[in-house]
Structure formats: C-alpha cells, structure tokens
Structure 1
Amino acid sequence: MSATLAPAAAHQRSGELTRFIQQMRVQPLPPAVLMEAKRALVDWLGVSIGAHRAPVVKAVRQVALGWQAAGRAQIILGGQTTPALAALVNGTMAHAADFDDTHPAGAGHPSGPCWSTALALGQSLLATEQQVLRAFITGYEVMARLGGGDFHGVGRNLQRRGFHPTAIVGRAGAAAAASSLLALDESEAANALGAAATMMGGLMKSSGTHGKPFHAGKAAMDGIMAAELAKSGFIAAPHFYEPAGWLKSFIQSGETNVPPLDFDAGWAIASNGYKLYASCRATHASIETARGLFNQLNGRQIARIHARVHPMCLVNAGNPHPQTPLETKFSVQHCIALALSGYQLGDQDFTDEKTADPAASALLEKVSVEAIEGQAPHAAIIDIGFTNGEQLRGETKIVRGHPLNPLTLDELHEKFSRLTRPVIGERNSETLFDTALGFEQPGALNTLSGLLAGPR
C-alpha cells in the first residue's frame, strides 16, 4: 500500500480505528493477550521505579508538582495530581533508562505512553481493573498498527527522517487508551485521535538527552488531553489517519509501506519485545554477541573488532564517540567495547565512571561497524582479530527478548526485582509483582496504587 489516498477511501482508516476502540470495550480477550498486557505492566513498573531518581524524572516531576493540580492519579513515588500530569511524569520515568519494552515492527516503546495513560486515568476515574487492562491493550494495538511495517514501514521510515515513533504514534495509542476509559462514542473518539494527531512530534536527535524519555511522557499527557478535549466537545480534523494525513506531513516523499490496520488479523501485543540491556534496542544483538565473546578472550591483545549489523542500528545507535552515559546508550560501538570489557550493560553500567573505563575506551577505538542490507535487525556478527594473528567470531541470530526468543516470566521477574528492591524493599517488590500479574482481580488497582504512593 502506498502513502497516497484514493478519494473513495476517505476516512476509511479513521473509521476502522474508532470502531476498534468501541469494540474493545466488550470484545472477549484471549488469556494469552491478557497475560502479555500484565507482563508489560510488570516491565513498565520495574523500569519506572528503577528510574525514579533519574535527573530527567526529577525535572519533570518538579514542574508537574509545581503546578499544584489536584487529582487522584498517582505519580510513581511522588504524590497525586491530574491524570495528564501523572502520565507525563510516569511516561518519562518509564523511558528514562531506555530499558522499556519495544514493538519489533517499528512503533517504538508502547508501554510508556499506553500504560502511563491507562493507569493514571483509571485511578482518576475509579475504573475497574478490566477496564484499565482493556484500555492499555486498545492503546497498544492502535499504536502498533499505526507505526508498524518493519524496515520499509511507517516507524522505521519515521526514524530515518529524524522522527521518534514513540512520540508520534504513541500519542495516538494514548488517545485510544484514554478514549476507551472515558467511554467516548465513535465521533468523540475520532475527535480525540484527531486532536492527538495535531500534537504529534518528537525528534530522534534528542537521543542521548532528556528529550527522548520526555517524548513518552508527553505522548501520554497529550493522549489524555486529546480525549478529555473530545469529551468536552472539541472538534478535530477527521482525516489525519488516512495515508495522505499525518503520514504525508512526516514522510513527504510518500516512500513508505503503510500496512493495513486489519484488527482482525491477530494481536500485535503478542509480539511485544522486552529488554535485557539498558540501551537502544538496536544495540542489543551486538551486546549479546560481545558478551558471549568476552569469556573467550583469554587475555589476548585485541587488534581490531568488526561488527556487522542491521542498517537501522547505525540510524538509531551509530554515535561513534559518545560523551556521556546517556549518549553511550545510543552508541553500538561503545556498547560493544563495554561488553568486551566484562560489563553486563544493565542500567547500573551506564555511569560516568564505567563509561569512562580506560580499557573500554581503548577498545572503542578498535571497533568498526558495517551495516548489512538484508540482515535481520535482531541479529549481529562480531569478528575479533588479535595481535598474535588469531581470529574469533561470534554471532547472535535472535537476540533475547525478541518475540522469536522471548524472555521467560522468571527472567522478567529477575529484572523487575533488580530494579525495584533497592527502591521499595523486597517485601513491597514481591507484593507489587504479584499484584501486577494478577491485575485482573478486583482490588488490584487500589493495591497497586497504594504501593506506588511509597512510604506515608
């Protein structure tokens, strides 16, 4: 499908979106879909709590609380306020370490905008757990469908043109989630999506700064604002979601494959991806490969390191000379050097001291990276040449956390515990984990909200 709009198809995709939002309030949900939504909740909670002291979070939280807006929505470990402001802070928090979930086909980081929206609005509206779960899944499916298509699709083409998909289709996903909880009718939901579209934006050049995590929080905030505006009578343009709408504005050449929405063709959330490493997802196959090679170095002097990666790796994470820990998260070269120096590449390794490790810095100068057309984005090959003439090769075919090589629930639990126990203690961490996994049970939202309020 090309990014051109035939006159006969006017508002066709917009109608598909609004009908799906309506249907999702009553449609039976398969147990596997509910489980994936809860796995995403576990991960969102873990990465958010783990990042609650990050400088970007402190700044955004200070501004939000400074507005002194009263409400029932819980800022994670930070007081209560309106849904839009809580979602702004929590969405920023979720993406602050770049450790949050990903949509493998290109839509970005879904839980940052969509869980932040669903929980904040659910708390404010005193919604049921089922309503909150349905809202999150609705937002996820909309976001994934709008930003998918893999290498030649929407999200990847946005990135190649300098736009962050999370900040763009994340607003639509958040608006869909909010429309579900606010019980908007089809006309109102269309206006909510239109209002979200007119606020779309977010630049990839923000990577390595506080701007990138702010994208996720602002998408959540704007999605809630868009739905609340629509419920109050706001009229927005209905045509943004046709190929000649917002897509034509961001990808003006029209050179993109726009996948059909096709909500009857299965569940996008079933293919959600989770991270083992606290860096841009494009670095992960190379990190995993380098970590596998580390124990085979046996003290030999490295002369050169050559990595073969998918072309999008250099688009999103090709900074050869990062100057800060945040920039290192978007440098596949530095991530390889750190992994070959023995680091695990969890968030604890992206500090000033560790990223300045002289051994890793010396290896960084020996790393070259080659983009290979046709190579899978979840694969990497690394060749190491030693000064004694010996060679070593490592390969990752499907990185851990990809839906074709998914993390187990035990692995998600381990990641969650590692991030949350130092902050809220072992007992509260386990209670929160169990509550998230049983989130469909009545009372779970209140229990979760209480735990996220922190010490009283």
Structure 2
Amino acid sequence: MTNPLLELAAAAAEWNRRPLSADVEHDARRAVLDWFASLLPGCAEGPVVALARALAPGRGAGAAVAYVDGGAGFSRHAALLNGVASHTAEFDDIYRDGGYHPGSPTISAALAVAQDIGASNEAFLRAVIGGYEVGCRIAVALQPSHYRNWHITATVGTLGAATAVAMLKGGDAGVIGNAIAIATSFAGGHQENLQGQGVTKTLHSGHAAEAGVLAGLAAAAGVTGSLDSLHAPHGYAAATGEDTGNWSAALEGLGDWTPISRMTFKNHGCCGHIFPTLDGLRALQAKVPFSAADIRRIDVRGYGPTRSICDRMQVESARDARFSLQYCVGALLVLGGVRMAAFTPEALARLDIRAVMPLVHVAEDPEIAAAYPRRRMARLRVELMDGRVLEHFQETRKGDPDDPLTDAELAAKFDELAATLLDPDDTGRLKACILTGQKLPRHLTAAGAPRAAGS
C-alpha cells in the first residue's frame, strides 16, 4: 500500500497551483456561505458567548477576528471561537460518505489564518478546498468503526484544519504532510460528549480548528511528525478504530473530483441522522395530508446512529431537541418545519409537540444499516387515527449530493439564519460579498453591517 498521508498531502499542495475551475470555485463559495449561515446564530447565544469573555484577556495581538464580539487577536483564538459558534446551531455542512462536518473546523481555521497573514481571497478558497479534500477522504477511511467511540468532526476536523493552514502558509507537500502528522496527535473528542449531557460537543469543532492552526503553524515553522501517522500499526486509524483504515475507498477518484463539490448542506436544523425521517414524512404529507392530531403511531426504521444517537425521549434543552428524532418529528408536524423556530424556549415548552413524541418508535433496519454511511435512508410506517396506514421508503435526504439544495434554496437558508444577527440589508451585503469574490468581512459592526477589509 502506498502511504495515504503522502498522497493526500500532495493532492492538497496541488490545490495551491492547479487551475481553479468555475464550478469548483462556485462550490467553495457555497461552502463559505453555508459556514457563515451556521456561524451567525451561534454568535447570538450558546457556549461561545461565555468562552469569548473567558478568553478575552489573553487573545493577544493579531488580525484574526472572532465574530462573536468582533475582537481581533491571534489566529488560534479566533479559530477556536468561530469553530464553536459555527457548530452550535447544528446547521453546518456534511460530507455524507464520511459522516463528517468539514466546514466548521476547516473554514474557521482557514479564515483566521488568512486574516492574520493578509492572504488573498483566492488563497483562502484554495486552502478551504484542500482542507476539505484531506479531511473528507480521511473520514471515509476511518468509517464506520471510528464513529462508534469518536466524534469524527472533532477528530478529523483537526487534520482538515491543519491542511488548510499549512497551505495558506505556503507549505509544499512535505510541510502539509507534517501538519497532518502533527495534527493526528492533537485530534480528540469522544462520543459521550456528543451523545451525553452538557454542551461540550460544540467545543469539539472549535478545538479542532484551534489545534489545526497549531499543527499547521508548527509544520510551517519546520516541526516534523511521523509521515506514517495515518496508517501505521500504531497510527491514528488503528488507535481510533478497528483497523488501519480503508484507504482504497478514501483515495478513490483523487485528482478527478474533489469532496467540496459533493457536500450535503443541511435543510433542517438538527442532527443529520434525523433528516431521512423528516424528508419521508414530508413526502407522505404531500400524498396524504395529515397533522399531529391525526397520528396514532409512527414507526421509523433506520441505520445505527438513527437509533443510538437520535432515539431520545428526554428533551430538556435545545441541544437535546436537536438530537431527538421524536422531538423533531413533533416539531415538523406541529410547526411545519425544523428550523430555528423549533428550538426556542417557547417551542420546547409546547405540549402539542411533546404529545407526539411517545407515538414515535425507532428501530434499526439491517438492510439500511448495511448501506450506511454512503446511504442515509429510512422506512416509515404511519398509523392514522382513522385506521389508515401509510408507508414510505426514503432513499435519500434533501440537501445530499443526489438531491442538493439549489443556489436559491441555500441563499434562503442563509437569509433565515443570518436574520438572527443581521438586518435584511446587511444580510444581502454579506451574501454578495461571499458569492461575488469580494474580500470577506473581517468585522460585523454593532448594527450588523459587514466592513470589508483583508481576506
């Protein structure tokens, strides 16, 4: 077997010099737009607000901006805070085949370093593409065994972020390879802090971004790591999974297509493992209109994490609700959608949503489980109060590459989420800035208007 780390590092280095097609550049801008959409509501509330206050005395000199408060400082701190904020509302992008959210750690790290060193917008986009290339492919190699105990965005996100930083620092394949190798020793974040109580999960992405900045800067300064770190018997894949990694699957099509052009952009504000159920219910409602009051029982059969992560009847917070299939089904049937309004204190207190939850039963389907993670499906059986039984097999998710959000749908999502912090005029200016290749904003003013400066 060839060394996968060296192959991935070479592929990332190539993104710093190869022609950037209009399609790939457009896909990268979509990813950045979606990152800002996910970031903005996370700046208004959640762990990042307290964390920003706690870190304020030591954020140091630098030009990297933490959008939660507009403070400029060292790139590590900005990457940390933006990484936490952009993972808070559970709207960040997904690489389906790896079960991985690359945008939050990768773009948080890349933008912080790009701002700090005054990199061009093109250099920033190229680093994002390269970071997605490496992170997404490593995620494929580690799945599914890695995900049983590790939060793959927390772990692999560190490697994608390190790649992007090393690229921005002008690193060749050797420097990028060392950044990945160093990052494997920093990558952590376990499933208990994803599935259990508390809000540490949101910090996972921020830590991945910050640790990736450290690894990338270290490699650019000449620090080295073991270039066998991914696939060796004591390397990262073996240490965090059942074997040394499925590298043939990870490297498939390397150089022919790039993961940033195969992203899932979330259409619902909850865990992606719930999406097939929500999309299936919408498909059934389009055929036979029904509401929450019509439901006698709903049976959902899905893949492993559908049950292990999302079969959750105890919902005490918005964070719990975003990982409860039962709550999200109730919100869909009562509110008509599972977006920001589904997780307000008022929504969480609604008895009509809560009344649906005990009617929803979750089980694993062996056939569907065997197709995971490359396929995300669900079988639904809905019993109505009038005795009718509706059945549906949901073969994909809205937002996945085979049923993508259009540019208009992605823009509408951005507008909705940005409205938590910005007024409509400011939202439009920020959106145009991202999509037309202008300099990305370094600050959001108190009123929300972006001031373009730097990258």
8 Å contact kept, 1:343–1:349: no
Helix, strand or coil at the partner of 1:423: coil
Work out the CA distance in 1 between the residues paired with 2:207 and 2:293. 48
Helix, strand or coil at the partner of 2:327: helix
Deviation at 1:318, TM superposition (A): 2.6
Aligned residue number for residue 156 of structure 1:
144
- Selected match of 2:213 from 205, 214, 224: 224
Q: Within the alignment, does 1:332 sit opposite 2:330 as a pair?
A: no
- Selected match of 1:97 from 71, 89, 98: 89
Letter in 1 for 2:214: M
Using the size of structure 1 for normalisation, the TM-score is: 0.90
Deviation at 1:53, TM superposition (A): 1.6
Is 97-106 or 13-22 further displaced after alignment?
13-22
Using the size of structure 2 for normalisation, the TM-score is: 0.90
Letter in 1 for 2:209: A
Letter in 1 for 2:168: L
Work out the CA distance in 1 between the residues paired with 2:291 and 2:53. 49
Gaps of 5+ in 1: 1-5
Deviation at 1:312, TM superposition (A): 3.1
Is 393-402 or 421-430 further displaced after alignment?
393-402
8 Å contact kept, 1:283–1:317: yes
Distance 1:19 1:301, change over 3 A: closer
The share of aligned pairs that are identical, in percent, is: 27
Gaps of 5+ in 2: none
Deviation at 1:39, TM superposition (A): 0.3
Aligned residue number for residue 116 of structure 2:
124
- Selected match of 1:200 from 169, 187, 200: 187
8 Å contact kept, 1:291–1:342: no
Letter in 2 for 1:248: A
Letter in 1 for 2:204: H
Aligned residue number for residue 134 of structure 1:
126
State how many pairs are aligned: 436
Aligned residue number for residue 229 of structure 2:
240
Is 400-409 or 361-370 further displaced after alignment?
361-370
Deviation at 1:269, TM superposition (A): 1.3
Distance 1:299 1:341, change over 3 A: closer
Deviation at 1:372, TM superposition (A): 1.3
Distance 1:388 1:20, change over 3 A: closer
Work out the CA distance in 1 between the residues paired with 2:211 and 2:203. 12
Aligned residue number for residue 24 of structure 1:
15
Letter in 2 for 1:302: I
Distance 1:26 1:167, change over 3 A: same
- Selected match of 1:279 from 263, 270, 273: 270
Distance 1:406 1:119, change over 3 A: same
Work out the CA distance in 2 between the residues paired with 1:249 and 1:273. 28
Deviation at 1:424, TM superposition (A): 1.8
Deviation at 1:45, TM superposition (A): 0.6
8 Å contact kept, 1:73–1:120: yes
Aligned residue number for residue 3 of structure 1:
none
Work out the CA distance in 2 between the residues paired with 1:124 and 1:80. 9
Distance 1:256 1:362, change over 3 A: farther
Distance 1:171 1:255, change over 3 A: closer
- Selected match of 1:261 from 230, 251, 263: 251
Aligned residue number for residue 177 of structure 1:
164
Letter in 2 for 1:337: G
Superposed CA offset, 1:85-129 (max 9, x none): 101010111110111100010151111011111111111111111
8 Å contact kept, 2:64–2:74: yes
Distance 1:298 1:169, change over 3 A: closer
Work out the CA distance in 2 between the residues paired with 1:107 and 1:379. 14
Work out the CA distance in 2 between the residues paired with 1:193 and 1:256. 16
Aligned residue number for residue 145 of structure 1:
137
Distance 1:237 1:63, change over 3 A: farther
Q: Within the alignment, does 1:391 sit opposite 2:389 as a pair?
A: yes
- Selected match of 1:349 from 342, 345, 348: 342
Distance 1:427 1:239, change over 3 A: same
Letter in 2 for 1:81: G
Helix, strand or coil at the partner of 1:146: helix
Deviation at 1:288, TM superposition (A): 2.1
Deviation at 1:406, TM superposition (A): 0.3
Deviation at 1:336, TM superposition (A): 1.6
